[in-house]
Structure 1
Amino acid sequence: MANDKTALLLIEYQNDFTTSGGALHGAVEANMAETNMLANSTEVVQAARDAGATIIHIPISFKEGYREITNHPYGILSGVVDSNAFVAGSWGAEITDEMKPAEEDIIVEGKRGLDAFGSTNLDFILRSKGIDRIAIGGFLTNCCVESTMRSAYERGYDVVTLTDCVGATSNEEHANAIKYDYPMFSRPMTGQEFVQELSGAEVADASRGY
């Protein structure tokens, strides 16, 4: 499979998650340290970009006051509102320096909920570019990443989940999602395994003369 038919989806690598002082960093800090997910992610992004894959950043943001969602949020969105996270235009909503988009990368706008397909034009972008394989990294392992994985699987994409490029609010939730949920809706692999797969695609394409 040619790498130009592959996209790397980067979900919510934003300061409020990734960086000390971020509104929700304290909730994910321990798991990030356990998995080294941010350093792993930066390596995978560069390797995927060099291999010719499409890099797609998918941040989440809300106008001040969170009027885009219900007046009575519950569950994970309640935590976002209560912590005043991901406010559009704020430092916390910015993509972290380690993962800053390159000029050729795509930034998907409009994510307001968990599934990256739900309130955005992500599916249109992927299909218009002829992409049929996606790999997913980001936050949270068992929330937005998992929701996007399930939706992509339902849409017929070849889905890879990058098990050491995702982060959760606890090691237990992280491990549970990867062990029990990811194999049902994706091909779980480490970032390096994915990079090796991309390298294999490059070699195969070269042997065909294109």
Structure 2
Amino acid sequence: MDVKKTAVLLIEYQNDFTTEGGAQHAAVQAVMDTTGMMRHSRALLDAARARGVTVLHAPISFAEGYPEIPVHPYGILAGVVGAKAFRKGSWGAEIAAEMAPVEGEIVIEGKRGLDCFASTNLDFILRQRGITDLAIGGFLTNCCVESTMRSAYERGYRVVTLTDCTATLSAAEQTAAVEKNFPMFSHPLTHDAFLAELDQGAVS
């Protein structure tokens, strides 16, 4: 890995997921605790910044009343509407303080669905910056992380999924995604293993 050609994409590290009182925090807290997600994600973020890796944040938000979502939503988006999560301008939609972007980091605008590439200029930004390797962490492991992983793979990026920087609704879903789906479309690595590969590339 070349540090200059590598980016870290942080998906939906927003209060509604990450923080007590968030609309969907209780649903993901158990898996977050098991993976040590927030602790590992913060360590990853600090290390990426120190190494000069491109850091991108991909929050999701919806206007009041969820006009961007079908009138009769189903699946994961029905859960978002039912929980009244990720409302634009709300505390819940804010990126958690410990993961908030700093000056010079990119916040991807326009995410309204699962795949970070689908309704944003993410691909344009990555290609303009010469990024070839994309490491992904965030929520939900088997939803937005997996959708984005597949899309990045299809676009020819070398994809890393950060196994200890992800969480979803149950241990069974986490295990299935990490052990069965991630290896088909990415290199599943812990954040420590990813950083070690970066450092090895810097030496070589």
Aligned-pair CA distance for 1:185: 0.1
Percent identity between the two aligned chains: 62
Does 1:145 pair with 2:133?
Answer: no
Alpha-carbon shift at residue 179 of structure 1 (Å): 0.5
Q: Report the Cα distance in structure 1 between the residues aligned to 2:40 and 2:102, rounded to whole angstroms.
A: 18
Distance (whole Å) between structure 1 residues aligned to residue 24 and residue 112 of structure 2: 16
Q: Say whether 1:202 aligns with 2:188.
A: no
Once the two structures are TM-superposed, the CA of residue 67 in structure 1 deviates from its matched residue by 0.4
8 Å contact from structure 1 (residues 51, 202) kept in 2: no
Which residue of structure 2 aligns with residue 36 of structure 1? 36
Give the match's secondary structure for 2:135: strand
After the TM superposition, list the runs of 4 or more consecutive aligned residues in structure 1 that deviate by more than 2 angstroms. none
Distance of 1:201 and 1:99 partners within structure 2: 26
How many pairs were matched up? 204
Q: Could you tell me how far apart the structure 1 residues matched to 2:164 and 2:95 are?
A: 19
Tell me if structure 2 keeps the 8 A contact 1:15–1:96.
Answer: yes
Unaligned runs of 5+ in 1: 205-210
- Offset, 1:48: 1.1
Q: C-alpha distance in 2, partners of 1:119/1:66?
A: 16
In 2, Cα distance between equivalents of 1:97 and 1:171:
26
Q: Which TM-score applies when normalising by structure 2?
A: 0.99
| Residue 9 of structure 1, CA deviation | 0.3
Alignment partners' CA distance in 1, 2:100 and 2:113: 22
Structure 1 Cα separation of the partners of residues 13 and 57 of structure 2:
8
Alignment-derived partner of residue 121 in structure 1: 121
Give distance in 2, aligned partners of 1:54 and 1:125: 11
Shift of 1:68: 1.2
Correspondence 1:49-198 to 2 at 5 A: 49-198=49-198
**Cα separation, 1, equivalents of 2:170 and 2:15:** 18
Q: Residue 95 of structure 1 aligns to a residue in which SS? A: coil
Normalised TM-score (structure 1):
0.96
